[in-house]
Amino acid sequence: MAESTDVLSPETVHGKFKEHGISHIVWLPDSETNFLFTLLDTDPDLNMVGVGREGNACAIASGLSAGGATPVILIQNTGLMESGDSIRGWLKSLEIPVVLVVGYRGYTRHGVNKDTAADFTEPFLNAFQIKYYLVESDKDADRISVAFEESKKINGPVVVLVADEFHGFNR
Protein backbone atom coordinates (compact mmCIF):
# COMPACT_ATOMS: atom_id res chain seq x y z
CA MET A 1 0.00 0.00 0.00
CA ALA A 2 1.14 3.53 -0.69
CA GLU A 3 2.00 5.66 2.26
CA SER A 4 0.31 8.80 0.94
CA THR A 5 -3.45 9.07 1.27
CA ASP A 6 -3.54 11.81 -1.38
CA VAL A 7 -3.53 9.33 -4.26
CA LEU A 8 -5.07 6.03 -5.17
CA SER A 9 -2.13 3.71 -5.54
CA PRO A 10 -2.01 0.76 -7.94
CA GLU A 11 -1.06 -1.45 -4.99
CA THR A 12 -4.28 -0.55 -3.19
CA VAL A 13 -6.43 -1.36 -6.21
CA HIS A 14 -4.52 -4.61 -6.78
CA GLY A 15 -5.07 -5.55 -3.13
CA LYS A 16 -8.81 -4.97 -3.44
CA PHE A 17 -8.94 -7.11 -6.58
CA LYS A 18 -7.13 -9.92 -4.74
CA GLU A 19 -9.38 -9.54 -1.69
CA HIS A 20 -12.46 -10.07 -3.87
CA GLY A 21 -11.10 -12.99 -5.87
CA ILE A 22 -10.81 -11.26 -9.23
CA SER A 23 -9.59 -13.68 -11.88
CA HIS A 24 -9.74 -11.52 -15.03
CA ILE A 25 -9.14 -7.86 -15.79
CA VAL A 26 -11.11 -6.94 -18.93
CA TRP A 27 -9.81 -3.60 -20.09
CA LEU A 28 -9.01 -1.22 -22.88
CA PRO A 29 -5.34 -0.28 -22.58
CA ASP A 30 -4.61 3.42 -22.19
CA SER A 31 -1.80 5.62 -20.95
CA GLU A 32 -3.70 6.65 -17.81
CA THR A 33 -3.62 3.16 -16.31
CA ASN A 34 -0.11 2.14 -17.39
CA PHE A 35 1.29 1.77 -13.87
CA LEU A 36 -1.75 -0.20 -12.74
CA PHE A 37 -1.41 -2.45 -15.80
CA THR A 38 2.29 -2.98 -15.13
CA LEU A 39 1.53 -4.13 -11.58
CA LEU A 40 -1.47 -6.30 -12.47
CA ASP A 41 0.36 -7.92 -15.36
CA THR A 42 3.00 -9.30 -12.96
CA ASP A 43 0.37 -11.18 -10.95
CA PRO A 44 0.21 -14.78 -12.24
CA ASP A 45 -3.27 -15.19 -10.72
CA LEU A 46 -4.76 -12.45 -12.92
CA ASN A 47 -5.61 -12.86 -16.58
CA MET A 48 -5.40 -9.61 -18.53
CA VAL A 49 -7.96 -9.46 -21.36
CA GLY A 50 -7.55 -6.47 -23.64
CA VAL A 51 -10.43 -5.30 -25.83
CA GLY A 52 -10.60 -3.10 -28.91
CA ARG A 53 -13.73 -1.25 -27.80
CA GLU A 54 -15.15 -0.77 -24.34
CA GLY A 55 -18.55 -2.20 -25.28
CA ASN A 56 -16.85 -5.52 -26.00
CA ALA A 57 -15.70 -5.65 -22.38
CA CYS A 58 -19.30 -6.16 -21.25
CA ALA A 59 -19.81 -9.20 -23.47
CA ILE A 60 -16.46 -10.70 -22.49
CA ALA A 61 -17.05 -10.12 -18.77
CA SER A 62 -20.50 -11.69 -19.12
CA GLY A 63 -19.07 -14.81 -20.72
CA LEU A 64 -16.33 -15.06 -18.13
CA SER A 65 -18.86 -14.70 -15.33
CA ALA A 66 -21.15 -17.34 -16.88
CA GLY A 67 -18.15 -19.66 -17.00
CA GLY A 68 -17.44 -19.23 -13.29
CA ALA A 69 -14.71 -16.58 -13.45
CA THR A 70 -14.74 -13.31 -11.50
CA PRO A 71 -13.91 -10.45 -13.88
CA VAL A 72 -13.62 -6.73 -13.35
CA ILE A 73 -13.87 -4.18 -16.16
CA LEU A 74 -11.30 -1.39 -16.27
CA ILE A 75 -12.16 1.47 -18.67
CA GLN A 76 -12.39 5.25 -18.88
CA ASN A 77 -15.63 7.26 -18.58
CA THR A 78 -15.68 8.05 -22.29
CA GLY A 79 -15.70 4.31 -22.99
CA LEU A 80 -18.34 3.76 -20.34
CA MET A 81 -20.66 6.06 -22.25
CA GLU A 82 -19.76 4.37 -25.54
CA SER A 83 -20.76 1.06 -23.90
CA GLY A 84 -24.31 2.03 -22.98
CA ASP A 85 -26.13 -0.57 -25.04
CA SER A 86 -23.70 -3.33 -24.04
CA ILE A 87 -24.16 -2.45 -20.37
CA ARG A 88 -27.92 -2.60 -20.84
CA GLY A 89 -28.01 -5.74 -22.96
CA TRP A 90 -25.25 -7.80 -21.36
CA LEU A 91 -24.67 -6.69 -17.78
CA LYS A 92 -28.09 -5.43 -16.68
CA SER A 93 -30.40 -7.71 -18.67
CA LEU A 94 -28.41 -10.85 -17.92
CA GLU A 95 -27.88 -9.79 -14.29
CA ILE A 96 -24.09 -10.08 -14.38
CA PRO A 97 -22.50 -9.11 -11.06
CA VAL A 98 -19.48 -7.13 -12.19
CA VAL A 99 -17.62 -4.05 -11.00
CA LEU A 100 -16.49 -1.51 -13.56
CA VAL A 101 -13.51 0.56 -12.43
CA VAL A 102 -13.86 3.72 -14.46
CA GLY A 103 -11.34 6.52 -14.85
CA TYR A 104 -13.17 9.79 -14.30
CA ARG A 105 -11.57 11.74 -17.15
CA GLY A 106 -11.83 15.50 -16.73
CA TYR A 107 -13.00 15.44 -13.10
CA THR A 108 -11.11 17.94 -10.94
CA ARG A 109 -12.94 17.71 -7.57
CA HIS A 110 -13.26 21.49 -7.59
CA GLY A 111 -16.41 21.75 -9.69
CA VAL A 112 -14.63 23.10 -12.75
CA ASN A 113 -14.24 20.06 -14.94
CA LYS A 114 -11.58 20.07 -17.65
CA ASP A 115 -13.50 17.85 -20.07
CA THR A 116 -17.18 17.45 -20.89
CA ALA A 117 -16.74 13.70 -20.38
CA ALA A 118 -16.78 14.45 -16.65
CA ASP A 119 -19.95 16.53 -16.99
CA PHE A 120 -21.86 13.62 -18.51
CA THR A 121 -20.51 10.69 -16.47
CA GLU A 122 -22.76 10.81 -13.41
CA PRO A 123 -25.92 11.74 -15.38
CA PHE A 124 -25.17 8.74 -17.63
CA LEU A 125 -24.87 6.41 -14.64
CA ASN A 126 -28.07 7.80 -13.15
CA ALA A 127 -29.95 7.40 -16.45
CA PHE A 128 -28.89 3.74 -16.60
CA GLN A 129 -29.71 3.31 -12.89
CA ILE A 130 -26.19 2.11 -12.11
CA LYS A 131 -24.99 2.58 -8.56
CA TYR A 132 -21.54 4.14 -8.29
CA TYR A 133 -18.91 5.01 -5.71
CA LEU A 134 -16.35 7.81 -6.05
CA VAL A 135 -12.80 6.89 -5.05
CA GLU A 136 -10.27 9.70 -4.93
CA SER A 137 -7.47 8.25 -2.82
CA ASP A 138 -6.32 5.28 -0.77
CA LYS A 139 -8.41 6.52 2.16
CA ASP A 140 -11.54 5.93 0.00
CA ALA A 141 -10.46 2.43 -1.07
CA ASP A 142 -13.02 0.68 1.14
CA ARG A 143 -15.63 1.93 -1.32
CA ILE A 144 -14.14 -0.54 -3.82
CA SER A 145 -15.14 -3.36 -1.47
CA VAL A 146 -18.59 -1.82 -1.05
CA ALA A 147 -18.97 -1.85 -4.84
CA PHE A 148 -18.05 -5.55 -5.06
CA GLU A 149 -20.52 -6.40 -2.29
CA GLU A 150 -23.26 -4.30 -3.91
CA SER A 151 -22.70 -5.93 -7.29
CA LYS A 152 -23.23 -9.38 -5.80
CA LYS A 153 -26.26 -8.21 -3.84
CA ILE A 154 -28.05 -6.76 -6.88
CA ASN A 155 -26.68 -9.24 -9.45
CA GLY A 156 -25.66 -6.41 -11.72
CA PRO A 157 -23.05 -3.83 -12.59
CA VAL A 158 -21.70 -1.32 -10.09
CA VAL A 159 -19.19 1.40 -10.97
CA VAL A 160 -16.17 2.66 -9.07
CA LEU A 161 -15.34 6.13 -10.38
CA VAL A 162 -11.64 6.77 -9.95
CA ALA A 163 -11.32 10.54 -9.70
CA ASP A 164 -8.73 12.75 -11.31
CA GLU A 165 -7.86 10.35 -14.11
CA PHE A 166 -5.94 7.77 -12.07
CA HIS A 167 -3.56 10.46 -10.79
CA GLY A 168 -1.99 8.04 -8.35
CA PHE A 169 -1.20 5.61 -11.14
CA ASN A 170 0.99 8.15 -12.94
CA ARG A 171 4.04 8.35 -10.75
Q: What is the pLDDT of residues 128-144, one digit of tens each?
A: 999 999 998 899 999 99
Residue 164 confidence (pLDDT): 58
* Ranges of the chain whose pLDDT falls below 70: 1-5, 31-32, 164-171
Q: For the purposes of burial, counting CB atoms within 10 Å of the CB of 110, is it exposed (0-12), middle (13-18) or buried (19 or more)?
A: exposed
The pLDDT assigned to 2 comes to 42
pTM assigned to the model? 0.92
Distance in angstroms (rounded) separating the CA atoms of residues 11 and 138: 10
Rounded Cα gap, residues 139 and 156, in angstroms: 26
Model confidence over 6-25: pLDDT tens digits?
788 999 999 999 999 999 99
d(CA 9, CA 117): 23
What 127-133 contacts at long range (C-beta under 8 Å, 24+ apart), as own/partner pairs, is 128/84, 128/87, 128/88, 128/92, 130/87, 130/92, 130/156, 130/157, 130/158, 130/159, 131/158, 131/159, 132/158, 132/159, 132/160, 132/161, 133/158, 133/159, 133/160, 133/161
Give the per-residue pLDDT at 167: 53
Domain formed by 10-69+81-166, architecture: 3-Layer(aba) Sandwich (3.40)
pLDDT of residue 24: 98
Phi, psi of 50 (to 5 degrees): -80, 145
CA-CA distance, 23 to 16, in Å (whole number)?
12
